[in-house]
Amino acid sequence: MDAKHTPGPWFVLPLSTTMGAEAREPGSFSIGTSEDAGKANILCSRFPWLECADEMRANARLIAAAPELLKALRAIDDAFVDDSHVDADTPTGRAIIAARAAVSKAEGFAKPRFENVFCSQCGGEFGPGNSGYSHCEDHRKATGA
């Protein structure tokens, strides 16, 4: 799938290198497409919020890692092409389901997580969805069926 976001890798840059000397305070940063601020396409900038500068830097590192994280999650999803092999009762199955949910979130929930969801109680099928039902009462409330 082609990415609609700016291709990675992304880098955390000091705001002073992208916005000038007036932005030297800790907690200020930019996210850019190059380690060289002069060559980077700046994706976003954050001005100082001094009381939580460490948290802001940690957030910046997480944001900058997003393209690589998305690529890794897609690789996990691609390694398990057939949904019938995903067992939500196993650690691996839960990891794959979580990876698919994160990819869907990054892609704007463009498609449901599962091609078909089921009820654990009656075995009923309910078509595409992001989660199944544990009890018949749940799908009766959600779908009327």
Residues that bind Zn ion (CB under 5 A): 119, 121-122, 124, 136
Tell me if 113 sits within 8 A of 130, measured CB to CB. yes
Among residues 101 and 136, whose Cβ is nearest to Zn ion? 136
Min dist CB 121 to Zn ion, Å, is 5
What's phi and psi for 31, nearest 5 deg?
Answer: -110, 125
Among residues 72 and 122, whose Cβ is nearest to Zn ion? 122
Among residues 92 and 121, whose Cβ is nearest to Zn ion? 121
Min dist CB 138 to Zn ion, Å, is 8
From the list 105, 106, 34, the residue with the least C-alpha distance to 67 is 106
**Structure-token pair, residue 134:** 């544990």
The CA distance from 139 to 66, in Å, is 35
Min dist CB 133 to Zn ion, Å, is 6
